[in-house]
Amino acid sequence: ETGVTQTPRHLVMGMTNKKSLKCEQHLGHNAMYWYKQSAKKPLELMFVYSLEERVENNSVPSRFSPECPNSSHLFLHLHTLQPEDSALYLCASSQGQGITDTQYFGPGTRLTVL
């Protein structure tokens, strides 16, 4: 295992539901990330947190709301999602934000929006 856990592993929700994805890293890293992986498409970086401060937001719709209460935990709050938001959501962490810092990924949450 990579030291990054994600829950739940699978989630099915309706467009009017509100749910949250959770990520926890046990590596003592300072940076955490949310990615979206759609079928046959490249990974898309959604959010970056460094030392609990958001440092990057790649024009993600407001129906996705991240939260980083401490350096070990990262949440992605979901509300009023669309069917095209169905994808694998991956969390990652790295020691720092240096160009050679390796990101360690969690197993992902498979999200289906009905």
**Closer to another protein at the Cβ: 46 or 81?**
46
Residue selected from 72, 73, 75, 105 as contacting another protein according to rule CB under 8 A: 105
Give the integer Cα–Cα distance in Å for 6 and 105: 9
**Closer to another protein at the Cβ: 13 or 45?**
45
Give the integer Cα–Cα distance in Å for 94 and 6: 15
Give the integer Cα–Cα distance in Å for 96 and 102: 9
Looking up tokens 């999200």, which residue turns up? 111
Under the binding rule (CB under 8 A), the answer on residue 42 touching another protein is yes
**Closer to another protein at the Cβ: 13 or 107?**
107
**3-state SS assignment for residue 63:** coil
CB 21 to another protein: min, Å: 13
**Closer to another protein at the Cβ: 66 or 108?**
108
Residue selected from 16, 41, 53, 83 as contacting another protein according to rule CB under 8 A: 41
Under the binding rule (CB under 8 A), the answer on residue 86 touching another protein is no
Query: In the chain, what are the helix, strand and coil shares in percent, each to the nearest 5?
Result: 5, 55, 40
